[in-house]
Amino acid sequence: MLFSRLLHNKQTLEHPFKTRLQAFQELGQHISILLDNGGFDAVIKQQHIENKWFTEKNCRFALQALAKMLDKKSCEAFFQKYQHHFQKERNSQKIAVISAGNIPCAAFHDFFCILVSGNQFIGKLSSQDALLLPFLSKILVKIAPELEKNIIFAEKLPPFDKVIATGSNNSARYFEYYFKDYPLLLRKNRNSIAVLTGEETEEDLWKLAIDVFQYFGLGCRSVSKIYVSKNYDFTKLIKTFQETSKSLLQHNGYVNNYEYHRAIFSINQIPVYDGNSFLLLQNSSLVSPIAVVYYEEYKTINEVLDTLFLHKDEIQCIVSNHLAIENCVSFGGTQFPNLFDYPDNRDVLSFCLG
């Protein structure tokens, strides 16, 4: 039966944390099944109608990434890391989540951490991303009915104990003031970067293109800036990016951005590589606009390491094969976070338990 409850052994009964984790593990299995049999078709189509940047392809990709995140091995590793926090009984807390709407199901990881920690999730979702997570919550409640009382979606926040808020650097100032009397986990703008040596394989570059163009580059895990060695040959990279990004020209919003920035660069006589579906521009900033990828040259890897250190609070992921760079994400891996890949590198589960 699709929504059968898990059979819990004695160890599970002694660990409510593990019981909740197993419910999410089963949710991951149901996501895969429902994607295959059309169970998400209606909600995905409606979500695309309400937010044109959430294409049906991108919504399916996001759900597949969630299913991968919730596999058995990941959930077991998560249990092993945090089980000692649950040796004594804890009082449930009401945790409000003010989420971003840049990619599909942006609030899922917060939703997961709050519920597996035994707390109540109060979600104020972005109007741009308001359908998929409530749909997933209904599936989860069928798997674990006892979680229903801990899930609230609200336009206006009811009383709460803690807050998790995600927004821009500008909105962060508002959040800091408005929630100054509450424990607050606040996230600001972040972007991801790649460091290339020129020795990358063709497969590496194809995978990097996914890191760059998935979700139109709107996610904090999307690569917006590439560091390349001096005199780097862009020929293979541009060809690969062209093949990967040309399908984005079917999206009016993306095309408008591409044509607008191309016109601006042309009028201002700014040299740029035009890939016919994207623009590659030399720029020191980490944050590039839609349809534009920034790059910067380096002479030595130490130059890059110094830059990464200075901007560590602005960077979410670093993609590279370079041995000198620690904690890198493999090519093609940025859009497949695991349960330990916390946004802004802030441990959400510890915040929920603290």
Q: Tell me: the pLDDT tens digits for 248-292?
A: 999 999 999 999 999 999 999 999 999 999 999 999 999 999 999
The whole-number pLDDT of residue 95 equals 98
For the beta sheet containing 223-229, the strands, ordered from the edge strand earlier in sequence to the opposite edge, are 273-274, 279-282, 292-298, 223-229, 191-195, 315-319
pLDDT confidence bin for 88, thresholds 50/70/90: confident
Torsion of CA 270, 276, 278, 281, to 10 degrees: -20
What is the average per-residue pLDDT within 312-335? 94
- Measured from the Cβ of residue 117, the count of other Cβ atoms closer than 10 Å reads 23
**162: helix, strand or coil:** strand
**72: helix, strand or coil:** helix
Percent over 70 (pLDDT), the chain? 96
Q: Tell me: the pLDDT tens digits for 149-184?
A: 999 999 999 999 999 999 888 888 889 999 999 999
Helix (H) or strand (E) holding 140: helix 132-143
Q: What is the DSSP letter of 148?
A: G
pTM for this model (two decimals): 0.93
The whole-number pLDDT of residue 26 equals 98
Distance of CA 283 to the CA centre of its chain: 25
Domain segments of the chain as ranges: 10-188, 191-319
Instruction: For residue 285, give both structure tokens.
Output: 């900033």
Residue carrying the six token digits 């399916």: 60
Q: What is the DSSP secondary-structure string of 272-321?
A: -EE-SS-EEEE-S-S---TTEEEEEEESSHHHHHHHHHHTGGGEEEEE--
What is the average per-residue pLDDT within 212-236? 96
Q: Tell me: the pLDDT tens digits for 130-150?
A: 999 999 999 999 999 999 999
pLDDT at residue 8 greater than cutoff 70: no
Are the C-beta atoms of residues 124 and 96 closer than 8 Å to each other? yes
Q: What is the DSSP secondary-structure string of 315-347?
A: EEEEE---TTSSSPBPTT-TTS--TT--GGG--
pLDDT at residue 53 greater than cutoff 70: yes
Domain 10-188: top CATH class: alpha beta
The answer as to CATH 3.40.309.10 being correct for domain 191-319 is: yes
Q: Tell me: the pLDDT tens digits for 9-49?
A: 434 445 799 999 999 999 999 999 999 999 999 999 999 99
Q: Tell me: the pLDDT tens digits for 107-126?
A: 999 999 999 999 999 999 99
Instruction: For residue 161, give both structure tokens.
Output: 């104990």
Query: What type of residue sits at position 78?
Result: F
pLDDT at residue 328 greater than cutoff 50: yes
